Amino acid sequence: MAWEYLEQEVMDERYKIASEFIGDYDKVVDVDSGNSRLRNYVKHYYSNDLNYVEADVKCTDDEFVDMVKECDVLCCFGIGGHEIIQEPLESPTLTQSLVRLAMKHHPHTMILECIDQFVPVVESILKQTGYKVDTHIKKTYNADVPQHLQYVMERNLFICK
């Protein structure tokens, strides 16, 4: 996903909204976390990303699955939809890594976020894991992005139980 087009306040707003669904004692696992800014809004946080030094672990999503010891809330912001667009910069193992983590740890909540184009990926994750959407927040953010990339500002946040 085009993170460079999401201004800091836009990213933080997404994390602030999500943090309202996370308790003080919840162990939060953020897969393919980007700059890991959700860390600023929750108490117990563990993340991975190959490209960002802010992540706790610099590894693939697939490798991260075996590193996670506890997970009450499983998160992924900006699901990249590799299955749909075959973009080489997006993780080809993200979807199955999320499924494996959900099946292994049975977190009470999954928080998944994506653009409209990748809602089918979220639906696939939910179908495979048995989670259901409890809350769906669709929001369009204002930011100075080129017109042909305006679609990245239209975000879907799914809180799943």
- Give the tens place of pLDDT for each residue, 20-33: 999 999 999 999 99
**Per-residue pLDDT at 146:** 77
Structure pTM?
0.93
Distance CA 42, CA 44 (A): 6
The percentage of residues in the chain with a pLDDT greater than 90, rounded to a whole number, is: 70
**Per-residue pLDDT at 152:** 78
C-alpha distance from residue 74 to each of 7, 18, 151 (Å):
24, 11, 25
Decide if 58 contacts 50 (C-beta within 8 A).
Answer: yes
Please count the other Cβ atoms lying within 10 Å of the Cβ belonging to residue 161.
Answer: 12
Domains of the chain: 3-160 (3.40.50.150)
